[in-house]
Amino acid sequence: MISKTLQDALNQQINFELFSAYLYLSMSAHFEAQNLSGFAHWMHVQYQEETGHAMKFYKYVFDRSGVVTLKAIAQPATKFKTPADVFKQVLEHEQKVTSLINKLFEAAVKEKEYAAQSFLQWFINEQVEEEKNATDIINMLEMIGDSPVSLIMADRQLGARK
């Protein structure tokens, strides 16, 4: 059985993961409107990942005989600037997610919820990958600068994400 404190924190994380998905879907729509279908595809895959993360938390709460309480999802930004600016926002957002996951882990330690600690370890490792991916794309976009040809090549590369 899960503690009430951890259950509430996990419910908040479900909401934040769904917000993350919504944010990435908004970014995908932005890139579609900019005729950058590869960037849009990358963000759409990210949207699907975040939805999957929310569902992992959802299932875990039920697996531990807890109660899932869904709340309203905040509206994400809809206006964005350059691809580099968007990915800087992605990195900032993923750093926020990392801090929330770390707080969940700290709560699990405090509550002596060993199963939760084990469960959250996957997310800790996932956040390392998420931040690295965003950083790598930012670095690539900074190297590209204002080159339209390079931007098209980057678009194709990001469109190949599975």
Tell me the domain boundaries of the chain.
4-159
Query: What is the per-residue pLDDT for 109?
Result: 97
* Rounded Cα–Cα distance for residues 5 and 59 (Å): 17
pLDDT of residue 73: 97
- pLDDT recorded at residue 159: 97
pLDDT at res. 40: 98
Q: What is the pLDDT along the chain (162 residues), one digit of tens a residue?
A: 899 999 999 999 999 999 999 999 999 999 999 999 999 999 999 999 999 999 999 999 999 999 999 999 999 999 999 999 999 999 999 999 999 999 999 999 999 999 999 999 999 999 999 999 999 999 999 999 999 999 999 999 999 999
CATH no., domain 4-159 = 1.20.1260.10
